[in-house]
Amino acid sequence: MKIIYSTEKKKIISQLNEQYGISKLPYLLIKFGEDKLRIYSGSLSNDELNTLAANLIIETMGLYFAKTEKDGIRLTLDGIQVLKEQITKNLLELTDKQAEEWLRGFDLDIKRGRGFKILKNNNEFLGCGKSTGDRITNFVPKERRAHTLHEDACIIQQTLNADLCILRANH
């Protein structure tokens, strides 16, 4: 855990402004590992946080809002939701069909300039993808992806079958 102070924070805000139009980050920035950025708005001071970090192993704190990558900053879905009022650049409006595919975890065959894009559908922010120029790569985590009714029914059926097998084995 590393608290990011003003000089480095200004660089990050400058990059967020260049990529997405975000000009304010009224939170304490904390870096975990090499590339995960978290925002913190709790009541602990910088000194208290540093004392905790020096004496305890802190695995996480605050909201994971972005990941620094070699070619820019990729916002998480949570980061987008927190900062959506400021996002004015690299927005990509999706059709309903494209939005459904995106939420199910599929990459999208859309030709756009290279770089990270914030995807929207009917004023709903859906995530951040990376354009190769020919397609948008999906970063929606598996546990947050949508399922079709058929897929949900199959998952429920598999769960019920597994529970029945356990019950049979125990009797």
Residue-wise pLDDT tens digits, 130-156: 999 999 999 887 777 776 555 545 544
pLDDT at 158 over 70: no
Please state the three-class secondary structure of 104-123 as a single string: CCCCECCCCCCEEEEEEECC
Q: Cα Rg for the chain, rounded, in angstroms?
A: 20
pLDDT of residue 77: 92
**167 — pLDDT class (breaks 50, 70, 90):** very low
Range of the domain at 7: 1-89
Q: State whether 57 and 68 are in the same domain.
A: yes
Q: State whether 46 and 95 are in the same domain.
A: no
CB 94 within 8 A of CB 126: yes
CB 6 within 8 A of CB 29: no
The Cα–Cα gap between 94 and 97 comes to: 8
Q: Report the alpha-carbon angle 112-116-122, nearest 5.
A: 75
Q: State whether 128 and 83 are in the same domain.
A: no
Considering the chain, what is the average pLDDT of its residues? 85
| DSSP bridge pairs for 115 | 131
Reduced to 3 states (helix: H, G, I; strand: E, B; else coil), residue 21 is coil
Q: State whether 75 and 96 are in the same domain.
A: no
Judged by average pLDDT, the poorest of 25-29, 91-95, 136-140, 161-165 is: 161-165
Number of domains in the chain: 2
Task: Give the best-scoring range by mean pLDDT among 21-25, 56-60, 99-103.
Answer: 21-25
The Cα–Cα gap between 167 and 171 comes to: 6
Last-in-domain residue among 89, 122, 157: 89
Last-in-domain residue among 55, 89, 123: 89
**pLDDT (tens digit, 9 = 90+) per residue, 115-126?**
999 999 998 999
pLDDT of residue 165: 46
Last-in-domain residue among 89, 111, 127: 89
Average pLDDT for 2-9: 91
Q: State whether 16 and 66 are in the same domain.
A: yes
pLDDT of residue 157: 56
**pLDDT (tens digit, 9 = 90+) per residue, 43-99?**
877 788 778 777 767 777 789 999 999 999 999 999 999 999 999 999 999 999 999
